[in-house]
Amino acid sequence: MTQPTATLLAGALDLLMRHSLTGCGQAAHRAASLLERLSVRPDVDSDTRRLCERMGEALAVGMEAPRASERARRLDLADSGPANSGM
Domain segments of the chain as ranges: 3-79
- pLDDT tens-digit profile of 4-59? 999 999 999 999 999 999 999 999 999 999 999 999 999 999 999 999 999 999 98
- Please give the pLDDT value at position 84: 52
Count of beta carbons in the 10 Å neighbourhood of residue 73: 10
Q: Residue 79's Cα: distance from chain center in Å?
A: 30
Cβ burial of 18 (10 Å; 0-12, 13-18, 19+) is: middle
- Please give the pLDDT value at position 44: 95
Reply yes or no on whether the pLDDT at 61 is more than 50: yes
Alpha carbons 21 and 69: distance in angstroms, whole number: 21
